Amino acid sequence: MRYHRLDLNLLTALRVLLTERNVTRAGEILHVSQSAMSGMLARLREYFDDPLITPVGRRMELTPLAETLVGKVNDLMVRLDATLAIRPEFDPASSRRQFSIVASDYVIQVLLLDVLREVHHEAPHVTVEFHHPSNTAAVDLENGEVDFVINPERFTTPNQARTVLFEDSYFLVVDAANSDVGSSVSLDQYKTLRHVTMENSGRPQFETWFTSEHGVLPHVEVVLNSFGLLPPLLLDTHRAATLHTRMALQAVQQWPLRLVRLDFEPPRLVETLQWHRYRDLDPGSQWLREKIIAKAQTLLPVEQLVA
């Protein structure tokens, strides 16, 4: 089918070529031969009267015209995907839809486990795929690669729909027999402790804030990429880990650990849910995000949890 002399079948090829900047990789993604991919690029070059991708040294780079097309083509394809995904209704009991969510294991543990139990009973054929938070999450959402992103508020993209889910604070967690600290810890004492910290595609919010405000911790013994692994690494040691309060409270119920209050003011954590604005009216997207939002609204304010 042609629209303004352009074969609309070439739009997918154009999007992949603009992203990959490589004919061979684009062909692999689209499952076509390199010669077929080269033919598509030739037709696109003829239509736009522009080479689109061109060698610069040993690399392939986008031409100025191609650079202007990247966002527009992504936007167009996401709109198309959202339009085709919309049905008059969404039946959870029979749907075989797959949803993709960017969320940390902390968010999964304190919020989404309950949502997944509901999905299990109401939508037995629906699949939920999780992706670790990363520096590309906002881009993946813009491009329609993921359905939802749950991240701290400071990581939200202004171009997409969003809502606040819940807030949290921080506690230090240590082994129950650890005598290095009492019921609270000052900033100076905090710096002397032996820490287990998080690192996952860049420092999480607390670590980023602490390094910016107070410098790098001098005694970091273990660095992880999973919040859930922090508590067991404290057992029978003098290590300490800074956890979100909601997760810290779960940890002390599960393990012989204790909470230590921070006598300095860390940043408030605000977790938000984002979805692509073109999926506002998608019944399936509405169904799942309403479940997530409704479950978040049942969480007690963190002040009540530690009162």
CA–CA separation, 231 and 252 (whole Å): 9
149's CB contacts (< 8 A; 6+ apart) are 101, 102, 103, 133, 137, 138, 140, 141, 273, 274, 275
Asked which of 137-141, 209-213, 216-220 is least confident by mean pLDDT, the reply is 137-141
Over residues 147-198, the pLDDT tens digits come to: 999 999 988 888 889 999 999 999 999 999 999 899 999 999 999 999 999 8
To the nearest whole number, what is the mean pLDDT of the chain? 87
What's the confidence (pLDDT) of residue 184?
A: 96
Contact status, residue 263 vs residue 191, Cβ threshold 8 Å:
no
Residue 55 has pLDDT above 50, yes or no: yes
Residue spans per domain, the chain: 2-85, 98-167+269-305, 170-262
Contact status, residue 261 vs residue 185, Cβ threshold 8 Å:
yes
- Of the candidate CATH numbers 3.40.1010.10, 3.40.190.10, 3.30.420.40, 3.40.462.10, the domain formed by 98-167+269-305 belongs to 3.40.190.10
**Residue 199 bridge partners (DSSP):** none
- Which DSSP state fits 242? E
Domain 170-262 has CATH 3.90.78.10: no
Q: How far apart are the first and last CA of the chain?
A: 65
CA–CA separation, 198 and 247 (whole Å): 14
Q: What percent of the chain has pLDDT over 70?
A: 93
CA–CA separation, 55 and 63 (whole Å): 10
Residue 85 pLDDT level (bands cut at 50, 70, 90):
low
253's CB contacts (< 8 A; 6+ apart) are none
Asked which of 48-57, 158-167, 220-229, 237-246 is least confident by mean pLDDT, the reply is 48-57
Over residues 105-114, the pLDDT tens digits come to: 999 999 999 9
What's the confidence (pLDDT) of residue 1?
A: 40
Q: Which fold has domain 2-85?
A: Arc Repressor Mutant, subunit A (1.10.10)
What one-letter code names the amino acid at 200?
A: N
What's the confidence (pLDDT) of residue 8?
A: 52
- Fold: same for 2-85 and 98-167+269-305: no
Q: Against a cut of 0.85, is the pTM above it?
A: no
